Structure 1
């Protein structure tokens, strides 16, 4: 391990452990013995003075950050996916990790790599400080990189104190009601190849005790397609199952969105999500759309940033705020948004699924369902979830209990165990900052 005052390199190795050209050389680590100091990240100061009770709690300073890139193939397809695992180590032997699912994109990984350079020597428990400084220093980017770092720091804190993240957040429940969120179908292909196929799957989910179901249809931009599927599902499951529809910005015009929205009204849908081609980015347009329909709208999935989402909401752009913990600043950003909405009497929904999402939802009063997605009838695999868990964690229909709920992981931190052998077997490279 590098000691205080030493000089280190950022090295990148492939699976054969062959050195590659360093991407950044001679990163000088500030002296860890200083009780107060400023470490500069893109000219923005991150103060590392202890903020606790006069030093009674030992600081855990970050002294190594590892970004491991890996590849995997889902069991039911030949498609290859590339994701990454972030691990943050401290000088007192602690470690926190996070392997993003939906948010594990190449640009998120690039952001994490850039941000990591300024975190060496920082107190790992000063998550709020890290969040604010990274938000400012990387204000030209979205928040996906911050999300991964923030979540790994929360995992580290939970492990330090031996409690789940949900407990650190003040969580009040151990089981979360789910809704089955389908993949998009293709006409004539597979279990979701027709309106009746969607109805069959909804009925199957209902029989398994799942209380709600969201349709992602063919995304062909045709209101009739949406309405035919919506109608078939409602007729099949009756009134006892809550139904939602997400055209995923595929409808081609405002009036198409109105047409589908009025069908939601007639069929008693629980919410109407991201209807048309503005990609849910115009608060004015969605405020107008809300004037035409009665069904609550779930918008803001594609709006990034705390202030931006708050502005969109206060401008009347949505009835329910959609928050993605992997894209909206991690656990810290998610809880800020949830509390903001709670203060103005608005509910939130968390986008997609994962261990982080479960811990957040356990501590959020103003939310209804955990999104079990994306799932389909002809495969047990959630297409958004990497197969990297060694402890049975999963977000498939088969993981839902008879009560229609999934558990909040109860181990320290995120409470999950990553399958190191599987990740290592698919390793494409490893980046370390010291």
Structure 2
């Protein structure tokens, strides 16, 4: 690479924008406004290439401040294509003692933007740069949210199954442990959850797999109570059943129930994935590129999983960033088509690839293959942000 080309790839600007984006569900039997908060990161090189990344499931204002005031300024003048060097620099800047949390979210969003730039610089889609293992990926559809009653869940499940999606996910637990002061007895919540899962199974018949997600909202006793009772309902996996993804408790639960367990979407650094693998805590490991340090970090998690013959899948949404990861690597797995998150990203990026008969075909355009609409971002940035990280 000559000096002129190298200079063109040097980082000139890093900008993070916190957004709270509203979207409207419009399904048979269910229509409702909802929202999700996220951070959009834009990186521009001296030569004018622009890459975009995002992160979510966090305090968007804090992560945006970390990017704008700490991480971004540290990258000015650096080679945007040197993703390993820059990831390591951000690690020692933001997480020098192995902390996860806000730092990992900031690193993830920046890393996605750098890979977007790399794809544009090399005129290749990101999934090809990551290894080009397959041109399409299987998806499961996250359709079932707390705001739906049993009939609405059943109707939504039939809608998605009728479009050829044989893998369907719904939330359970509903932050029951977090909201014990309401008061709302956890077992009361789970008894209703059991009926909700049965309503979905009755609606779609015996064949489609149903996936459950407790969002780290249960203690071991209550997670086991529910897992034992849904085991007969053909469950694909039970995601994040226990608070804090406690590896010891997850391993114990896994030894006690027949339902496969999954976790990892919120883990920011490799040692957290190592802990889950060493404890034999889960059946499916779930690195998420928009949360766990970007492609650079998740490639390491995927390598760790491969070394232990551990299946991986996407959890935590952001389909169109994670699809590149799972299409790129040989041990890629299921990608989550989270209905609300897709509605939100389409408000920012416009139309995005949608599943056909349970599969999404990867784009051939350079980089991620999609870019935000500047006018839409300006408009969304004017909306005051909410403290809620997502309501459905």
TM above 0.5, yes or no, is: yes
Task: Pick one of 65, 74, 87 that aligns with 2:14.
Answer: 65
CA distance in 1, matches of 2:21, 2:221: 42
Which has the larger helix fraction?
A: 2
Is residue 233 of structure 2 the alignment partner of residue 267 of structure 1? yes
Closer, same or farther: CA 69–289 of 1 in aligned 2, 3 Å: closer
Contact kept in structure 2, 1:183 and 1:374, CA below 8 Å = no
**Deviation, structure 1 residue 393:** 1.3
User: CA offsets, 1:83-105, max 9 Å, x none?
Assistant: 44322222233222224455682
Question: What are the superposed Cα offsets for residues 210-235 of structure 1, whole Å, 9 maximum, x if unpaired?
Answer: 12011214625333222222222223
User: Secondary structure, in 3 states, of the residue corresponding to 2:348?
Assistant: coil
Cα–Cα, structure 1 residues 89 and 254, in superposed 2: closer, same or farther, change >3 Å?
A: closer
Per-residue CA deviation, residues 101-149 of structure 1 (Å, 9 max, x unaligned), is 5568222212212111111111111100111121122114530010111
Residue 407 (structure 1) aligned with residue 351 (structure 2) = no
2:40 pairs, out of 67, 85, 88, with 85
Asked if 1:166 is matched to 2:135, the reply is no
Cα distance, 1:407 vs. partner?
Answer: 2.3
Q: Which of 195, 200, 212 is matched with 2:155 structurally?
A: 200
Compute the TM-score of the two structures, normalised by the length of structure 1. 0.75
* Displacement after TM superposition at 1:259 (Å): 2.1
Q: Is the contact between residue 19 and residue 38 of structure 2 (CA under 8 Å) also seen in structure 1?
A: yes
Match of 2:207 in 1: 240
- Quick check: 1:134 aligned with 2:68? no
Contact 2:112 2:294 in 1 (8 A): yes
Q: Give the 3-state SS of the residue equivalent to 1:225 in structure 2.
A: helix
Counterpart-to-counterpart distance in 1, 2:367 and 2:352: 14
1:202 and 1:294 mapped to 2: Cα distance? 24
Query: How far apart are residue 160 of structure 1 and its match?
Result: 0.5
Following TM superposition, by how much is the alpha carbon of 1:155 offset from its aligned partner in structure 2, in angstroms? 0.6
Structural mapping, 1:25-104, within 5 Å: 58=6, 60-69=9-18, 72-75=21-24, 83-100=38-55, 102=57
In the aligned structure 1, how far is the partner of 2:12 from the partner of 2:328? 31
Determine the structure 2 residue equivalent to 1:230.
197
Contact 2:265/2:291 (8 A) holds in 1: no
Distance 2:159 2:359 in 1: 16
Pairing partner for 1:354 from 316, 319, 327: 319
Number of residue pairs matched by the alignment? 357
Q: Counterpart of 1:109?
A: 64
Paired residue for 1:388?
Answer: 348
TM-score (ref. length: structure 2) = 0.82
From the superposition, tell whether residues 214 and 85 of structure 1 become closer, same or farther in structure 2 (CA, over 3 Å). closer
| CA shift for structure 1 position 332 | 0.8
Report what 2:140 is aligned to: 179
Aligned partners of 1:71 and 1:428 also within 8 Å: no
Tell me the distance in 2 between the aligned counterparts of 1:67 and 1:302. 20
Structure exhibiting the larger radius of gyration computed from Cα positions: 1
Q: How big is the alpha-carbon RMSD for the aligned residues of Structure 1 and Structure 2?
A: 2.7
| 1:412 shift after superposition | 0.6
Asked if the contact 1:272–1:297 (Cα under 8 Å) also holds between the matched residues in 2, the reply is yes
| 1:74–1:80 CA contact under 8 A, matched in 2 | yes
Match in the other structure for 2:280: 316
SS of the residue 2:211 aligns to = strand
Aligned residue for 1:86, secondary structure, equals: strand
What is the deviation of 1:370? Answer: 1.5
Does structure 2 conserve the Cα–Cα contact (< 8 Å) formed by 1:202 and 1:213? yes
**1:131 counterpart SS class:** helix
Look up the match of 2:181. Answer: none
- Deviations along 1:227-277, one digit per CA (max 9) or x if unpaired, are 2222222233233211111122334x423222221223222211112224x
The 3 A distance-change label for structure 1 pair 234 and 327 is same
Q: CA deviation at 1:296?
A: 1.4
* Contact 1:227-1:263 within 8 A present in 2 as well: yes
Shift in CA distance, 241/213, structure 1 to aligned 2, threshold 3 Å: same
- Contact map agreement 2:56 2:105 (CA 8 A) in 1: no
Q: Give the direction of change, closer, same or farther, for the CA distance of 1:78–1:261 in structure 2 (3 Å limit).
A: closer
